Chain A
Amino acid sequence: MPYALCFLLLMIGLYCAVTKKNMIKIVIGIMVMEYAVNLFLIMLGYRLGGIAPIVEKGDLESGAEQIAASFLSASVDPLPQALVLTAIVISLGSLALMISICIRTYEKYGTFDITQIRRLKG
């Protein structure tokens, strides 16, 4: 059920990116889509009542095998968290590039409205 809500958020972002006329609103739509995918990835690894996947020195006292079993049965999945870190960095780079293109376009055309930025046709 939460997965379907994530997909709904993705669709809302897609609707915003496709139908709006202001360039900044299109960029915001793309960012909403990115947030939806990151949220989906984190929810994949979640386990109800799980602990954070960090092992400390105190846990090692009782020997490696026992902590492995109790850790595995209680912690959330750390791999999607690493994937989300990478995806956030990538979307940061992409957002910086999009904003600088918007600024330059505003300087050249004088407007943010994409229906008036249509020199390329055919």
Chain B
Amino acid sequence: MSVPLPAFVAVPLVTAFLLPIFGKKGKAVATFLANLATISLLVLAVSSIGQSGVYEIGKWSIPLGINLVLDGLSSLLLLAISVVSTAAMLFSTRYMEQYTAKAKYLSLFMLMVAGMNGVVLSGDIFNLFVFLEIASIASYALVGFGCEHEELEASFKYMVMGSIGSIFVLFAVALVYGNTGSLNMAYISKAIQSSGLNAGLTFALALFIAGFGLKAALVPFHAWLPDAHPSAPAPISAMLSGVIIKSLGVYALARVLFNVFGITIQTGWILIVLGLLSMIAGAFLAIGQWDFKRLLAYSSISQLGYVILGIGLGGLIIASEANVAWASLAILGGLFHLVNHAVYKSLLFLTSGSVQMSTGTRQMKQMGGLAEKMPVTRATCTIASASIAGIPPFSGFWSKLILVIAAIQAHLYWVAAIIVFVSLCTLIMYLKVQRYVFLGELPESLKEIKENRGSMLIAMIFLACLCVLMGLLLVPGLRFNILEPAVKVLMDGVSYSANIIGM
């Protein structure tokens, strides 16, 4: 294939270690290099759409060496990661001027991107764990970057829960190695198909769900997210909520459950129940919040529940051998919602950062009437809120509609009713945001604020345009190239191993 796969990991890593050499004097050069790296990653990700392949590192053949695998699901997530990281890096050239130590921030950011790219591309389960840890440790440091009271407390809480999740994942990897004798995902899948699940492997499956569920903030394990996302600086909140919980949590869970272990009726039901709990709990807890970013964080928990519900529903239909077309529709809805949510939730966090930089506060009761002072921020926030609430011409409506149709076709009418009800709650919470932040009276203390300029506006407008254009992803031309290969990977399930070993 034309794109060398290690470039996705090597480019951010080399940039991360090149940047601290510049120190305080060369801050402009460091920022320029970092932006160049993220834009080149975006170009590489776009040029790898539609390709697939296996890259063996060091030319050691597969069961002996480590390989990197690019297939439909990986290229979909690589595209999402590079889009959100380009926008966040553009935003942070202006936003991070209010913090010190910018070169260290940039190199930690690049390490996080390198870790996420590695998780998405890895074909070997221990390699996935190592990149998971790289991305997680970089994000623990970035959440507490400002070193104020709340940020340190949030970072400690996030760090303790994240470390416990990673230790569960490592224990599960050890159990899988002990029972199957190989670390390569294709070989593990072949061994599990031929020998079936014994007690050790079932326990490993439970530990995987717990560990990756902690990273993805599914409901019994979500306690770190409402503290970590508001306290982080705004571009880091956008990255955390937009791509980290998806690539470290949802992607890894889908890969392990569908391609390695093979989906069964019990695991499908577990995913559906976790998804439903996340949707309901996140929506109810979000409506009562008065802190702008904390409301957005709870709404992330709720939207991620949609994604897990879609994937679980598809898995249940595949496992119970019913009509396969409905399974692919459910998985299409889940994955499309994943990509949608990455774009518009990161846009929402960037607008909240712009509001915070101008007004100095996050409490919605102290804001109001910002519509005339900050027109661009208001326009982009309205576009993003309309998409996430599911108003018809925007893309959020289509993904929720696909999920409702798939639920009805699977004869789970109560699930479809819950999806519609939670969408109503989402509409209520975003109407609250619009009313209290942008409409209404401008309070006395905020009469002199101005709109933010420069790279922050470019990043927000870029994401807003993407938001509007995302509805076009369902157009058959784009859908066959971008979304359908990803759905096909999850539908194939355990024949993933035949594809890899045959190559």
Binding site for B on A (CB under 8 A): 10, 14, 17, 23, 26, 30, 33-34, 37, 40-41, 44, 79-80, 83, 86-87, 90, 93-94, 97-98, 101-102, 104-105, 108-109, 117-120, 122
Question: Which residues of A have CB within 8 Å of B226?
Answer: 122
Residue from the list A33, A41, A90 in contact with B133, Cβ < 8 A? A90
Residues 137 to 196 of chain B near chain A (Cβ within 8 Å)? 137, 140-141, 144, 147-150, 152-156, 159-160, 163-164, 167, 170-171, 174, 177-178, 183
Question: Which residues of B have CB within 8 Å of A93?
Answer: 137
Question: Which residues of B have CB within 8 Å of A122?
Answer: 226, 289, 291, 294
Residues 352 to 397 of chain B near chain A (Cβ within 8 Å)? none
With A14-B164, A30-B167, A109-B149 as given contacts, are A101 and B177 in contact (CB-CB < 8 Å)?
Answer: no
- CA A4 – CA B177 in complex, angstroms? 17
Question: Which residues of B have CB within 8 Å of A119?
Answer: 149-150, 153
Residue from the list A30, A41, A120 in contact with B150, Cβ < 8 A? A120
Q: From residue A108, how far is it (CB to closest CB) to chain B in Å?
A: 5
Contact call B160/A102, Cβ cutoff below 8 A: no
**B141's closest neighbor in chain A, by CB?**
A97
- CA A104 – CA B178 in complex, angstroms? 41
Contact call B170/A37, Cβ cutoff below 8 A: yes
- CA A74 – CA B31 in complex, angstroms? 55
The 8 listed contacts between A and B (C-beta, < 8 Å) are: A17-B164, A80-B174, A86-B130, A93-B137, A98-B160, A104-B152, A108-B149, A120-B231
**Additional A-B contact list (13), CB under 8 Å, known A83-B177, A109-B149:** A30-B160, A33-B167, A37-B170, A83-B126, A90-B133, A90-B137, A93-B137, A94-B137, A97-B159, A108-B148, A108-B152, A117-B153, A119-B153
Q: Is B227 part of the binding interface, using a Cβ–Cβ cutoff of 8 Å?
A: yes
Contact call B156/A101, Cβ cutoff below 8 A: yes
**A13's closest neighbor in chain B, by CB?**
B167
Question: Which residues of A have CB within 8 Å of B156?
Answer: 23, 98, 101-102, 105
Question: Which residues of A have CB within 8 Å of B150?
Answer: 119-120
- CA A41 – CA B163 in complex, angstroms? 18
- CA A33 – CA B168 in complex, angstroms? 9
Residue from the list A14, A40, A94 in contact with B174, Cβ < 8 A? A40
**Chain B: interface residue count, which band?**
20 to 34
Q: From residue B243, how far is it (CB to closest CB) to chain A in Å?
A: 21
- CA A26 – CA B167 in complex, angstroms? 15
With A109-B149, A120-B153, A120-B227 as given contacts, are A87 and B170 in contact (CB-CB < 8 Å)?
Answer: yes
Contact call A105/B130, Cβ cutoff below 8 A: no
Question: Which residues of B have CB within 8 Å of A34?
Answer: 167
Contact call A80/B177, Cβ cutoff below 8 A: yes
- CA A122 – CA B294 in complex, angstroms? 9
- CA A34 – CA B171 in complex, angstroms? 9
Contact call A40/B126, Cβ cutoff below 8 A: no
- CA A44 – CA B174 in complex, angstroms? 8
Q: From residue A60, how far is it (CB to closest CB) to chain B in Å?
A: 21
- CA A26 – CA B154 in complex, angstroms? 15
Question: Which residues of A have CB within 8 Å of B137?
Answer: 90, 93-94, 97
Q: From residue A76, how far is it (CB to closest CB) to chain B in Å?
A: 14
Q: From residue B105, how far is it (CB to closest CB) to chain A in Å?
A: 15
Contact call A104/B130, Cβ cutoff below 8 A: no
Contact call A94/B163, Cβ cutoff below 8 A: yes
Enumerate the 7 nearest inter-chain pairs by beta-carbon distance, A residue then B residue, closest first: A44-B178, A105-B152, A120-B227, A90-B133, A41-B174, A33-B167, A108-B149
Q: From residue A23, how far is it (CB to closest CB) to chain B in Å?
A: 7
Question: Which residues of B have CB within 8 Å of A17?
Answer: 160, 164
Contact call B171/A120, Cβ cutoff below 8 A: no
- CA A122 – CA B291 in complex, angstroms? 10
Contact call B164/A37, Cβ cutoff below 8 A: no
Question: Which residues of B have CB within 8 Å of A30?
Answer: 160, 163-164, 167
With A44-B177, A97-B141 as given contacts, are A37 and B289 in contact (CB-CB < 8 Å)?
Answer: no
**B154's closest neighbor in chain A, by CB?**
A120
- CA A48 – CA B13 in complex, angstroms? 42
**B285's closest neighbor in chain A, by CB?**
A122
- CA A120 – CA B226 in complex, angstroms? 9
**B231's closest neighbor in chain A, by CB?**
A120
Count chain B CB atoms within 10 A of each CB in A34, A37, A41, A44 and give the residue with the most. A37
Question: Which residues of B have CB within 8 Å of A90?
Answer: 130, 133, 137
- CA A90 – CA B167 in complex, angstroms? 11
Contact call B174/A37, Cβ cutoff below 8 A: yes
With A120-B153, A122-B294 as given contacts, are A37 and B171 in contact (CB-CB < 8 Å)?
Answer: yes
- CA A120 – CA B149 in complex, angstroms? 10
Residue from the list B144, B178, B227, B294 in contact with A101, Cβ < 8 A? B144
- CA A45 – CA B160 in complex, angstroms? 29
**A87's closest neighbor in chain B, by CB?**
B170
Contact call A33/B152, Cβ cutoff below 8 A: no
- CA A17 – CA B126 in complex, angstroms? 25
- CA A84 – CA B474 in complex, angstroms? 46
- CA A101 – CA B162 in complex, angstroms? 15
Question: Which residues of A have CB within 8 Å of B140?
Answer: 97
Residues 272 to 314 of chain B near chain A (Cβ within 8 Å)? 289, 291, 294
- CA A34 – CA B169 in complex, angstroms? 11
Question: Which residues of A have CB within 8 Å of B174?
Answer: 37, 40-41, 44, 80, 83
- CA A97 – CA B231 in complex, angstroms? 18
- Scan B103-142; emit 1 where CB is below 8 A from any A CB, else 0: 0000000000000000000000010001001000100110
- CA A120 – CA B140 in complex, angstroms? 17
